[in-house]
Amino acid sequence: MTDTLQPSARDAGNESGVPIISGVRQQRVLRTAIPGPRSQQLQERKTAAVAAGVGVTLPVYIAAAGGGILVDVDGNQLIDFGSGIAVTTVGNAAPRVVDGVRDQVDRFTHTCFMVTPYEGYLQVCEALNRLTPGNHDKRSMLVNSGAEAVENAVKIARRYTGRDAVAVFDHAYHGRTNLTMAMTAKNMPYKDGFGPFAGEIYRVPMSYPFREPAPIDGAGAAARALSLLDKQVGANRLAAVVVEPIQGEGGFVVPAPGFLPAVAAWCRANHVLFVADEIQSGFARTGDMFACDHEGVVPDLVTTAKGIAGGLPLAGVTGRSEIMDSVHSGGLGGTYGGNPVACAAALGAIAMIEQDDLVGAARRIEAVLRPRLEALAARHPEIGDVRGRGAMLAIEIVAPGTTTPDAARTSRVSAACHAAGLVTLTCGTYGNVLRFLPPLVIPESLLVEGIELLEQALGS
C-alpha cells in the first residue's frame, strides 16, 4: 500500500508530504482533551434535546471528515477505525460521491420511484445484479436501511416459497425493526423491553471457532445447526436461512471454512432460500466484493446497505429473478426507497470501488493490520483471538489464558483509544470484541499509528 492516494481536484495542495483526502490532512491532531469543550457543550444540548435511547459511542461532534480522519468541532483530528460502522468504505465525502450527489440535487431530489421512475435506480440495480455473487439472472430492489432490506428479503422468501419459518443464528444481528429484532440475537441493548417480537423465527448455533467447547470443523458446525432445523422446525416449513457470512455486531465471527457452503447446499437440497446478509461485510470490505465470494457461495438472495452509497442511506435486496419476480406488482417498495440522491451517491461509490481496486485496498489493509494485531496478541495474553478478513478485523479480549470474556477491559481499552484520538468500536454478544473497520482509502501511516495507539491503550 502506498501513502500517496489517487489525487483528485479536491486533494491538491500537499506540500508537507502528508496526503490530503477530501480536503482533510491525513494526520492525527489533538488540540484538546477528548471530548473537547465544544463537543461537551453540544453533548449537553444532545442530552436536553435527543431521546436518551439514542446512545453515542464517543461524544465528539464532527465538523469535517475525509480519508481516514474525522475532524471535530474543537479542531482535533481523529483516526477513523470505524467508518461510521462500515459505511464510508470509499472514504468520507469521497469526491466521486460528492460530485454525483451535487449533480443530482441540482436536477431533482425526489419523485418516488413507484410514481415516476428515474434512471439512477436502474443503474444501481444493474450494478447490484452484476456485482453480487453468481452469474444467474437477477433482479434488485432498493430501500433505505439494512433492517428494511432484511425485512424485504424475508417477505420475498415467504412469498416465493409459500412457507413461514425463518432460521437465523446465534450472535446474529439483522436490525432493530420488529421483525429484525426477532432475528437479532442479543437482548441488551437491542431487544430489552421491546417485545413481543415477530413469530416464526428460529435460532440455531453458529460456527464460532474461538468459542467451540470442542473442536468442530465447518461441515460439522453446519450439520449441528441443520439437524436442529430439520428436527425442531422441519425443512418443509422453512422459507429461508438468513446468515451473515461474517457476523458484524455479534463479534466479527468468521465461521469455520466449509460452514457456509454446507448450509447453502442443504438449503438448495431442501428448497429453502439461502439469504446472505452482506450489509456489513459487503462492498469490498472483506477483500472480496462480497464475503460469500471467499468460498464461492452463491446465495439466492443478498441484502446490502452500509458501504453501498458512501454514507447516504441506501440498501438493497438482490436475488434470482424468479424469486424476486414472484411478488405481485406493488407488493414491494416505499416512499423513499432508492432515493435519486442516494442512488447517485451509490453510483459514485461503486465506480470508486471498481476503478480504484478497493477490493485490493482491503487486502492490503489486512496485510498491514493482521501481522501487527497478531504481534500484539503475542505480547498481550488478554487478546484471545485475532480474526476477520480484509478491512473487517477484530480482537477478542478475555481473561488471560481462558475464553472468559472481559467486557470491562474491552471498554477501558476502547476508551483509552478514544482519548488518544483513535476511533474504535466494540461489538460481540459478550461486549468483549474490539473491531477495526477503517475506510479503504486510509493511508498506511494512519493504520500503523492506529495500531501503536491501540498497543498503548492495551498497556494503560
Ligand X SMILES: Cc1ncc(COP(=O)(O)O)c(C=O)c1O
Is residue 276 close enough to count as binding ligand X by CB under 6 A?
A: no
Mention every residue, 6+ apart, whose C-beta is less than 8 A from residue 44: none
Q: Which is nearer to ligand X, 216 or 423 (CB)?
A: 423
CA dihedral 227, 233, 239, 241 (to 10 degrees): -40
Query: Which three three-digit cell numbers place residue 29?
Result: 491532531
Among 81, 113, 121, 173, binds ligand X (CB under 6 A): 173
Interaction residues for ligand X, span 206-245 (CB under 6 A): 244
Determine the size of the site formed for ligand X (CB under 6 A): 15
CB of 279 to ligand X, least distance (A): 4
Query: How far, in Å, CA of 368 to CA of 417, rounded?
Result: 19
CA dihedral 20, 22, 23, 24 (to 10 degrees): -60
Among 80, 151, 170, 277, binds ligand X (CB under 6 A): 277
- The residue behind cell 492516494 is 5
CB of 150 to ligand X, least distance (A): 6
The DSSP secondary-structure symbol of 232 reads: I
Q: Which stretch binds ligand X (CB under 6 A): 169-177, 226-234, 268-276, 452-460?
A: 169-177
Among 5, 125, 305, 324, binds ligand X (CB under 6 A): 305
Q: Which is nearer to ligand X, 382 or 396 (CB)?
A: 396
Interaction residues for ligand X, span 309-338 (CB under 6 A): none
Among 76, 207, 280, 286, binds ligand X (CB under 6 A): 280
Among 67, 218, 248, 337, binds ligand X (CB under 6 A): 248
- Under 8 Å between Cβ of 240 and 166: yes
Q: Which is nearer to ligand X, 383 or 425 (CB)?
A: 425
Query: How far, in Å, CA of 393 to CA of 389, rounded?
Result: 6
- Under 8 Å between Cβ of 1 and 441: no
Q: Which is nearer to ligand X, 248 or 348 (CB)?
A: 248
Interaction residues for ligand X, span 174-203 (CB under 6 A): 174-175
Residue 45 exposed, middle or buried by CB count within 10 Å (0-12, 13-18, 19+): exposed
Residue 300 exposed, middle or buried by CB count within 10 Å (0-12, 13-18, 19+): buried
Interaction residues for ligand X, span 90-149 (CB under 6 A): 145-147
Q: Which is nearer to ligand X, 280 or 410 (CB)?
A: 280
- The residue behind cell 432498493 is 142
The phi, psi pair for 342, rounded to 5°, reads -65, -40
Q: Which residues bind ligand X (CB under 6 A)?
A: 85, 145-147, 150, 173-175, 244, 248-249, 277, 279-280, 305
